């Protein structure tokens, strides 16, 4: 994942993407939680006051069933510059909240005894997780401006529509791959800053996400 790291002195600053968060979630889940947690919906936010946020829904199973937690989401903010270590600690903080909710436990408060017990366990394993982060000491990221994405739009002989966010350095390589796939009948490249594409992993080969015709037309019009 070295392509996601920008060197600045001795710091490793990260370009935060959903793909990056997914990689780190599975690695941290394996190391610190024994792989217990399923993958939640991972999102990159632009929050100024919360470095991370966990949320879920409480629903009743059946008419007389018990209430359970479901639809787990974790958001990590890209508003401030963070090192890889800091992002991991922020993600782990939210994963502790996730663990408690996933086990259907109830803490006495947001950072009650159950949370603090897990936080202490992880910190004893070498982490630096805290209850809160002083954002005053952090630097606002220049990338707080809306990101631009190189988007590949595809149509095939079956009338299906596909979208992909491609690493700019691999545009020519992907273009050559397209010529080897006869089922692709139309393709074009656009540059878009639509925030929908923030959730797409940046690919380096011919891979794309199937979308509806309506979504395809909507997103391919977002060109600047």
Q: What is the pLDDT of residue 140?
A: 62
Chain centre to alpha carbon of residue 7? 21
Write down the pTM of the prediction: 0.58
Q: What is the pLDDT of residue 1?
A: 32
> Which residues make beta-bridge pairs with 11?
8
Percentages helix, strand, coil for the chain (3-state, rounded to 5) are 35, 30, 35
Q: What is the pLDDT of residue 48?
A: 77
Kindly state the percentage of the chain with pLDDT values over 90.
65
Burial label for 75, CB within 10 Å (0-12, 13-18, 19+), is: buried
67-77 pLDDT per residue, tens: 899 999 999 99
105-149 pLDDT per residue, tens: 999 999 999 999 999 999 999 999 999 866 655 666 655 555 789
pLDDT digit string (tens) for the chain, length 224 residues: 333 333 333 345 677 899 999 999 999 999 999 999 999 999 998 887 789 999 999 998 877 778 899 999 999 998 888 889 999 999 999 999 999 999 999 999 999 999 999 999 999 999 999 998 666 556 666 555 557 899 999 999 999 999 999 999 999 999 999 999 999 999 999 998 887 888 888 999 999 999 999 999 989 874 43
Rounded CA-CA distance 142/23 in Å is: 24
Q: Which domains occur in the chain, in start order?
A: 2-143 (1.20.120), 149-220 (no CATH)
CA angle 97–94–4, rounded 5-degree value: 160
The length of the chain is 224
Picking from 131, 212, 140, 204, the residue whose alpha carbon sits closest to that of residue 173 is: 204
Q: What is the pLDDT of residue 197?
A: 87
Q: What is the pLDDT of residue 3?
A: 32
Q: What is the pLDDT of residue 29?
A: 98
Rounded CA-CA distance 15/23 in Å is: 13
């Amino acid at each position: 994942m070295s392509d996601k790291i920008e060197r600045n002195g001795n710091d490793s600053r990260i370009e935060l993407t959903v793909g990056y968060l997914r990689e780190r979630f599975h690695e941290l889940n394996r190391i610190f939680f024994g792989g217990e947690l399923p993958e939640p919906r991972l999102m990159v936010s632009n929050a100024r006051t919360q470095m991370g946020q966990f949320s879920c829904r409480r629903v009743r199973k059946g008419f007389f069933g018990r209430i359970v937690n479901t639809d787990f989401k974790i958001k990590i903010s890209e508003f401030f510059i963070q090192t890889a270590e800091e992002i991991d600690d922020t993600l782990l903080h939210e994963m502790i909240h996730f663990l408690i909710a996933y086990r259907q436990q109830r803490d006495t408060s947001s950072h009650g005894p159950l949370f603090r017990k897990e936080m202490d366990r992880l910190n004893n394993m070498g982490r630096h997780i805290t209850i809160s982060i002083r954002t005053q000491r952090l630097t606002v990221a220049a990338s707080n401006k809306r990101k631009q994405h190189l988007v590949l739009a595809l149509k095939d002989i079956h009338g299906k529509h596909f979208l992909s966010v491609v690493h700019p350095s691999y545009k020519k390589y992907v273009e050559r791959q397209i010529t080897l796939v006869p089922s692709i009948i139309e393709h074009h490249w656009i540059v878009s800053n639509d925030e929908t594409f923030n959730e797409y992993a940046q690919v380096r080969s011919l891979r794309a996400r199937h979308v509806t015709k309506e979504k395809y037309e909507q997103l391919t019009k977002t060109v600047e």
